[in-house]
Amino acid sequence: MSEWKTIWALLVASTYTLGSGNIALAGDEQHDLHLADWAQKLGRAFVQVADQVAPSVVVIEVAHPIEPRINNGGLEDHPGWNQLPEEERRRLEEFFKERQDPAEPKKDDSNRSNQNPRDRFDGKGSGMVLSREGHVLTNYHVIEAASRIRVRLRNGRVFKAHVRGFDSQADIAVLHLIDAPASMLHPIKTADSDAVQVGEFAIAIGAPFELEYSVTYGHVSAKGRSTVTLSRNLDHDFIQTDADINPGNSGGPLVNIRGEAIGVNTMIRGLNTGIGFAIPINMALEIGQQIIETGTFRRALLGIGIQTLTENYELNDLVSSISSGVIVSSVQADSAAAEADLRPADVIIAVGGKPVASAQQLKNQIRSKTIGNPVILDIVRNDKRRQVEIVPREWTRPEVAEITANKAREIPVRPLGLKLRKADETGAKQFGVTLTEGLMVWEVEQDSLADNLIEPGAIITEVNYQAVRMPLDFADIYKDVDLKRGMILVFKDLLGNSTYVILKEREL
């Protein structure tokens, strides 16, 4: 009965969310009947959420410039290396890079072919579709320092993406898909994350550990977590969840039982801890919408250091007239706060008439204020209430790694690279294959579109679903082919197996 009790506890907890009403029990038989019935309903609810949300979730693959190999003491050979979050691997690599002996000989890559890529796809994350215009919301750390970005939809189609803009302080970025048809894009539904309650169901969908479109569920464990990172300068107001969030989930949605996004999955507190964090969707959309409209996010700045009053026991004891607010711990020289005569030890209790009780609440109120427009702060100084008018200035963005994904890339023009002739006995004997009607591949040029996709000796039987028997058949079809879309070659390989390849100019 212990398993049934566990299920029953879940069902009772979900009664309000699923709108099921109260369940009256009369005896063990009715108890078990209700358990089975509501277990099925709960299971169907999770299935429906996955079906509803999955088309709005995308897989983001990111390329980074190839750098000289770093001597990291063989950590890449450790079985747990690839299980570390991408940001942790990069941090360790930077650690070893800074300590690498300058006299250590570097690998000679002077013989590398000019055709070899200067970057490689080595990062993966998740995202969610915001609009049919092709805007995708994700984490900034997913696309940090990206040289190329490609996005895969649920239907398998892959599109190149540019970075519309980002806000590194909140770890938010917006991508724009290139040439993605609106009919293929399914914008995600969103909820009011301010109304999210601790204890309600939370479901994460993304691509953890290369396992795309994985669904995990748990609960909202806490709200308003702003001290889970070492930097107090970052703008974070996390939703905490025990739904499994792993490397690759970053940027994907955390949704409620109705399939509405309540957050953007962004970080974990160590592997296998059962603690994950998501950026509230209200905050993400506030920043994302301005990025969509202007290409950037202008953050208002007061120029003060802040601390929640209840976290400073000594000052809290000295301020008797209030029980909550935000302490001005420092005032930057030549800042908006200095001009407004804010002083250290002042306690801000409201912004524009809206009460603030924590440092993060103050950040939330100030973040999107119009630069240059005055704002009224209610403060307490020496146990006396007063108002201060302050004119926010624009926050100066810190330097971050360059993102080159938006820059035009020179795509080498490469021929098909196929030398073809009508399949005959001579060719069949030379390559040791069974003779079939079609065009025999005699040579494949190196670094051509066909290189590594088809071998000499293969016999092409169809091109774009049309039978080919003579080289002229191939030429007639090829003259109307758009290689940006690709052409399909059906052929028999050297073992006689029928298969196909797509020859295409690849920009992704």
Distance CA 349, CA 352 (A): 10
Query: Which residue shows structure tokens 């290189």?
Result: 451
32: Cα separation from own chain's centroid: 42
Distance CA 261, CA 168 (A): 21
Q: Dihedral sign, CA of 61, 65, 68, 73?
A: negative
Residue 376, helix vs strand vs coil: strand
- Tokens found for residue 218: 């748990």
The one-character DSSP state at 35 is H
Rg (CA), the chain: 29
Q: Which helix (H) or strand (E) holds 478?
A: helix 471-478
DSSP 67-115: -PPP--TTGGGSTTGGGS-HHHHHHHHHHHHHTS-TTSPPP--TT--TT
Closest CA to 449 of 421, 406, 483: 483
**Based on the number of CB atoms within 10 Å of its own CB, is 139 exposed (0-12), middle (13-18) or buried (19 or more)?**
buried
- Could you list the active site residues? 141, 171, 250
Q: Which helix (H) or strand (E) holds 365?
A: helix 359-366
Distance CA 497, CA 441 (A): 15
Q: Contact, 55 vs 127, CB < 8 A?
A: no
Q: Contact, 293 vs 285, CB < 8 A?
A: no
Q: Which residues pair with 330 in a beta bridge?
A: 305
Query: Which residue shows structure tokens 């002077």?
Result: 110
Residues near 23 by Cβ (< 8 Å), separated by ≥ 6? 11, 12, 15, 34, 38
Count Cα atoms within 13 angstroms, Cβ side, for 231. 8
How do 439-444 and 276-280 pair as beta strands? unpaired
- Tokens found for residue 133: 């215009």
**Based on the number of CB atoms within 10 Å of its own CB, is 435 exposed (0-12), middle (13-18) or buried (19 or more)?**
middle
